[in-house]
Amino acid sequence: MTTRALSLPSPDATCALAATLAPRLRPGDVLLLIGGIGAGKTHFARCLIQSLMDEPEDVPSPTFTLVQVYDVPTGELWHTDLYRLSDPDQVVELGLTEAFDEAICLVEWPDRLEDLTPAAALTLSFEVTGDETRRVTLDWQDARWDSRLEGLS
């Protein structure tokens, strides 16, 4: 497993990280966003999605809809919030396991996936370090992330 930790001194820095990572993503990439409520998961996801759109639009949190699907130049992007799921079987019912192979997927509360968690996923763990500051730790096992994350700061 490879790990890299980054300090994010402001919400703008979180957006900058998302905008830098976004064009490096391809269909079949899964980002697991971990952190407590208010840690910056949705802010990061919103910035990433908007940076990929030809014409940025409102990006609501999928807390109540569970899944929001966006068309971006590389194909579909799925933003999911699994907080309200009680059983991993619901992940299959949503079509998320298929999306893992065919779309870019951003998954908030990925602990709900249990054994459905893709092994090749990139994990981003967000931690509150101050009123507006965050620390994000990136973890991955799949070698495809090595080159894609070069120069990321």
pLDDT in tens, 18-56: 999 999 999 999 999 999 989 999 999 999 999 998 777
Average pLDDT over residues 82-111: 91
Taking the model in full, what pTM does it have? 0.93
Could you give the domains of the chain?
2-147 (3.40.50.300)
| pLDDT tens digits along 47-61 | 999 999 877 777 767
Average pLDDT over all residues of the chain: 92
Residue 40 zone, left/alpha/beta (φ > 0; ψ -120 to 50; rest): left
Q: Which of 58, 108, 43 is nearest to 79 (CA)?
A: 108
What would the DSSP string read from start to end of 5-25? EEEE-SHHHHHHHHHHHGGG-
